[in-house]
Chain A
Amino acid sequence: MHFYIFLIKRYLGGRGNKIFSSNAWLSFIGVFIGCSLLVVVLSVFNGFQQQIRESIFKFDPHIIIETRKGPGKIDDWKDWRSTIKANLGDLVSNVSGMIQSPALIRKDDQIDQVLIRGVEYAEDITNKTRYVLPNDFPKNVEPTNLKGVPKGDYCLVGKELGTLLDLHVGDYIQLIVPKGQFTTRVGVEPGMKSYTISGFFASGNYQYDSRVILLSLPTAQGLFGTGDTVQQLAVKLTKFSDLKKVMLELYKILPYDFSPRSIEQEHRNLFSALKWEKIIMTVIVFLFIIAALVGIIVSTSNVIRSKRKDIGILKALGASDQEILIVFTMIGFLSGLVGTIFGVAFGIFLSMRLEWLIGTLEKIANTLGSFYCEHVSACYWVKVELMPRDVYYFDHMPVSIDASLLHPLAVLAIFLAGMAALIPAWAAGKLQPAEIIRSSDT
């Protein structure tokens, strides 16, 4: 063991017992950068995925039950709500009636297309004129202390829609919806009604925040003129992991006329795209690590080439093939090991400070750019935004460090570093002292 440590320490650090020789630094830096990038990319992708998931899962019911013909009327929805609650018990946190339909919004001269969602709010027992907002309702609302909605002709509007149409709390809007039965004589009769905006919500999902208007279920029923019926039953689960189990139970409980649809089925394409995006990015970044491993092969080969005479001497002194193999494999392996550990640690640090880093880079780019335009060339500097908020619709950089994924990747990177070093070290172990000494003499 002393023999190995003695040689590895010197070949890794060179004379003067430095930490790394130039060759070892080459291996270290390659793996370090690769691992750091891998951690940052995976953390950002995880964060994006989680943010999108959360924004959808928080706002949407986990399961929607409709009639098999599509969003038609469910007359006996209260009975079915009780049946589902009784059968599924603690598996579900809430079962409620819901109406969801496209509509037109009119504010002064502006008309836009929106989606109306009529949801069941709980009664406020302290104030009979109000509903209480559910606990999982998006926190980011205006006014910020909004806890409930007044009963009657009031609505909650998506924050982005409010910005687009310049809406404010207390403003009146008109909603135009198809009403009644379709007839060949007049088609569908439109229903139109005015509502007061009681607040704005921000789910974190641009699609919802720019399109959805929330009404209480009785208000929505009044608008569509459906009486005490709903189009859908909305199920929220206590634990999302029970989704499959609950779906199976619902298939058992519900008659054939009803069709339950899970949130995963609803957003299958999006989640599938996110998953594939993450896999592809992981593969791409892992290819960078593979390139770094080629660096380990090259640098270990360099060390072996420069120490060829030493290998001949060591073998003439009695070192075995295996001892030479271990010494030179360990040199590459240790560079990879240290590179991976520091790379992962730096990647985690970078991920945690990514928002600050992006902000700083933006500031530097904008300062330099405006200085250039003002003092060097007469031009107009367009402000650089590395993470445009209106495109990505996140008020912060969503980063989620997934240790369960990083751990196997780091272990794999370390293992591959050892394998990469093994290739040239194997050849070193097979060198014959006679050949080396003869070639050194000439």
Chain B
Amino acid sequence: MNSILSVKNIKKSYRDGEVTVNVIHDINMELARGDFVSIQGASGAGKSTFLSILGAILLPDSGTITINGKNLEDYSREGKIHEYRKNHIGFIFQSHYLMPDFTAMENVMIPLLMRGIKNQAAKQKAMEILSKVGLKERANHYPSQLSGGESQRVAVARAVAPEPDIVLADEPTGNLDSHNKKIFIQVLEDLQKSRDLTVLVVTHEQDLAAAAGRRYFMKDGYLSQM
């Protein structure tokens, strides 16, 4: 297996007053290009914390994360954690987290511009992705003018546009109705297949979890393959 992401013995704990709460216990995982992986589990099981660690929004207490052969710790030591996020990770949050002052197209353009792509090229690429998620006509609308389902599809487009090594999705259908859930799952599946994306999704949803080729279950910070 040609590994993109390698997670070894990751641990994470929080201090809650006098008590130390172990949220993640010795997690190991390997992801290859094109993998579509889901993690299910109850609330508080540590799924989102694990995802935040993979996205370098949180740092683990111990263990190693290697992406394309480079250790996350190296990025951290060099003060370039942002480079890790920018060049390797695409994030989809439970709430769409679109920037309200920017149109759908502009929201998709931002990570492209961040990578040094010029304005016109970024616009073209953003439009292309928005067409793929069925929102070409809504490209110039602000997030407040979009429905929840449309906003979440824009969030997918934004995560996918810069062609990251891994797309991390944290409960992406959590705020959607059943109709929009179906559309969202379809869009994500299509993009994953057509672009050979590596996707790791944390979800409660059976339908979304079932779309994944590999499924994991997390309980009390322990990860097991289903």
Binding site for B on A (CB under 8 A): 2-3, 6-7, 10-11, 14-15, 307, 309-310, 312-321, 323, 433-434, 437, 440-441
Chain B residues with CB under 8 A of A314: 99, 110, 114
| B85 and A318 form a contact (CB under 8 A) | yes
| B99 and A313 form a contact (CB under 8 A) | yes
| A318 and B111 form a contact (CB under 8 A) | yes
| B57 and A433 form a contact (CB under 8 A) | yes
Indicate whether A320 sits within 8 Å of B113 (C-beta atoms), given known contacts A2-B118, A440-B95: no
Chain A residues with CB under 8 A of B86: 317-319
Indicate whether A11 sits within 8 Å of B95 (C-beta atoms), given known contacts A2-B122, A317-B86, A318-B83: no
- Given A15, A310, A315, A434, which contacts B82 in the complex, CB threshold below 8 Å? A315
Give residues of chain B (90-114) contacting chain A, Cβ–Cβ below 8 Å. Answer: 91, 93-95, 97-102, 106, 109-111, 113-114
Chain B residues with CB under 8 A of A3: 110, 113-114, 116
Task: Judge if B119 is at the interface, Cβ distance under 8 Å.
Answer: yes
- Given B87, B99, B114, which contacts A310 in the complex, CB threshold below 8 Å? B99
| A434 and B52 form a contact (CB under 8 A) | yes
Chain B residues with CB under 8 A of A11: 101
| A15 and B87 form a contact (CB under 8 A) | no
Indicate whether A319 sits within 8 Å of B101 (C-beta atoms), given known contacts A2-B119, A2-B122, A433-B57: no
Indicate whether A6 sits within 8 Å of B95 (C-beta atoms), given known contacts A11-B101, A318-B83, A434-B58: no
| A318 and B99 form a contact (CB under 8 A) | no
Interface residue total, chain B, C-beta cutoff 8 A: 36
| A437 and B93 form a contact (CB under 8 A) | yes
Task: Judge if B149 is at the interface, Cβ distance under 8 Å.
Answer: no
| A319 and B99 form a contact (CB under 8 A) | no
Task: Judge if B142 is at the interface, Cβ distance under 8 Å.
Answer: yes
| B97 and A309 form a contact (CB under 8 A) | yes
| Interface of A, helix, strand, loop or mixed by DSSP | helix
| A437 and B57 form a contact (CB under 8 A) | yes
Task: Judge if B60 is at the interface, Cβ distance under 8 Å.
Answer: no
Report the tally of A-B residue pairs with Cβ distances under 8 A.
80
Indicate whether A316 sits within 8 Å of B91 (C-beta atoms), given known contacts A2-B119, A11-B101, A437-B57: yes
Contact with A along B134-153 (1 / 0, CB 8 A): 00000000100000000000
| A316 and B55 form a contact (CB under 8 A) | yes
Chain A residues with CB under 8 A of B58: 434
Chain A residues with CB under 8 A of B85: 315-318
Contact with A along B11-31 (1 / 0, CB 8 A): 000000000000000000000
**Chain B residue nearest to A13 in the complex (CB):** B101
| A313 and B97 form a contact (CB under 8 A) | yes
**Chain A residue nearest to B117 in the complex (CB):** A2
**A281 and B118 alpha carbons, distance in the complex (Å):** 49
Contact with A along B179-212 (1 / 0, CB 8 A): 0000000000000000000000000000000000
| B91 and A317 form a contact (CB under 8 A) | yes
**A6 and B105 alpha carbons, distance in the complex (Å):** 13
- Given B52, B95, B101, which contacts A14 in the complex, CB threshold below 8 Å? B101
Chain A residues with CB under 8 A of B110: 3, 6-7, 314, 317
Known interface pairs A2-B113, A321-B82, A437-B57; 19 further A-B residue pairs with C-beta atoms within 8 A, sorted by A's residue number: A2-B116, A2-B118, A3-B110, A6-B110, A6-B113, A6-B119, A14-B101, A309-B99, A312-B97, A316-B55, A316-B91, A318-B87, A318-B114, A323-B82, A433-B57, A434-B57, A434-B58, A437-B97, A440-B95
Chain B residues with CB under 8 A of A310: 99-101
A-B contacts, 6 of them at CB < 8 A, read A6-B113, A317-B91, A317-B114, A317-B158, A318-B87, A440-B95
By CB atoms of chain A within 10 A, which of B91, B97, B142 has the most? B97
**A437 and B94 alpha carbons, distance in the complex (Å):** 11
CB of A67 to closest CB in B, whole Å: 79
